[in-house]
């Protein structure tokens, strides 16, 4: 189910060497699409590493009304079809929406702009960081934090010096998974980006190549994305195994 399709894509894309890849990358907007994808995915990994870690900390360390509901909401991006996510973002931030219109008055364009691409990636990848950090945080002994408080350290100092070092491998793993997932996001982006120049990402560019029956070029770009995301996933697995062996 996995190996045979992968072999088929690689064979189709590189049956004539690098000709298909060179042709695909030389098309107008191709390099820009790949650059936008990598930059937006990297920004997504960084931002979700921060927000996902803070959200995981809140879910593990605090008890408050609505905590169960908040935990369920975190998993919504796993359940919502990505096309629906794109429609939701357009409805919220589109030019005709109240929020989109208000932001537009200040020159901030979300829908049909690179910022919308970033928001779509952030939405679909947040659970990867939260659910990677949360179990590690649950295993940490709160007594260490309590000891830090008793010695006069503040909440931020305790988090940075006691909690964060223990969470660093899990945060890195979650961020890498978010990066790999963001690279391949298509459904939400094709809606929120409007499929226009300047907002084109690599997966959407692959879709355009397929619609133009340029299958070899589409397979070559797809293999390139797979190589990047696959390397990230393998690196994440190695990081997790290393952390477990050290424990």
At 9-53, the pLDDT tens digits run 899 899 888 889 899 889 888 999 999 999 999 999 999 999 999
- The reported pLDDT for the residue numbered 2 is 83
- The reported pLDDT for the residue numbered 247 is 61
If phi over 0 gives left and psi between -120 and 50 gives alpha, with beta otherwise, what is residue 97?
A: beta
- The reported pLDDT for the residue numbered 144 is 81
More confident residue, 242 or 172: 172
Tell me the angle at which helices 215-246 and 19-26 cross, rounded to the nearest 10 degrees.
100
- The reported pLDDT for the residue numbered 157 is 85
- The reported pLDDT for the residue numbered 244 is 67
- The reported pLDDT for the residue numbered 150 is 83
Model confidence pTM above 0.85: yes
pLDDT above 70 for 103 = yes
**Residue matched to tokens 């952030």:** 122
Q: What value does the mean pLDDT of the chain take?
A: 89
Range 187-196 average pLDDT: 89
More confident residue, 53 or 240: 53
- The reported pLDDT for the residue numbered 164 is 87
Range 207-233 average pLDDT: 90
Range 142-162 average pLDDT: 82
Range 175-195 average pLDDT: 91
- The reported pLDDT for the residue numbered 239 is 74
CB 45 within 8 A of CB 178: yes
Residue 161 — very low, low, confident or very high, per pLDDT cuts 50/70/90? Answer: confident
CB 118 within 8 A of CB 192: no
Q: Which two tokens stand for residue 24?
A: 């695909």
């Amino acid at each position: 189910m996995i190996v045979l399709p992968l072999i088929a894509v690689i064979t189709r894309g590189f049956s004539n060497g690098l000709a298909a890849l060179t042709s695909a990358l030389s098309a107008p907007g191709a390099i820009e699409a790949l650059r936008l994808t990598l930059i937006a995915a990297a920004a997504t990994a960084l931002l979700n590493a921060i927000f996902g870690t803070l959200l995981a900390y809140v879910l593990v360390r605090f008890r408050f009304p609505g905590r169960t509901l908040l935990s369920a909401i975190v998993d919504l991006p796993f359940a919502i079809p990505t096309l629906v996510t794109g429609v939701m973002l357009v409805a919220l931030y589109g030019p005709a929406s109240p929020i989109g219109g208000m932001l537009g008055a200040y020159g901030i364009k979300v829908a049909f702009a690179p910022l919308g691409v970033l928001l779509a990636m952030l939405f679909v990848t947040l659970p990867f960081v939260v659910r990677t950090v949360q179990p590690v945080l649950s295993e940490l002994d709160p007594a260490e934090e309590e000891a830090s408080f008793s010695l006069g350290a503040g909440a931020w100092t305790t988090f940075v010096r006691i909690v964060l070092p223990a969470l660093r491998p899990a945060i890195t793993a979650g961020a890498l998974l978010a990066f790999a997932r963001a690279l391949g996001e298509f459904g939400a982006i094709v809606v929120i980006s409007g499929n226009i120049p300047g907002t084109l990402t690599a997966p959407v560019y692959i879709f355009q190549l397929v619609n133009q029956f340029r299958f070899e070029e589409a397979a070559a770009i797809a293999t390139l994305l797979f190589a990047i995301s696959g390397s990230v996933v393998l690196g994440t697995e190695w990081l997790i195994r290393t952390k477990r062996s050290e424990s």
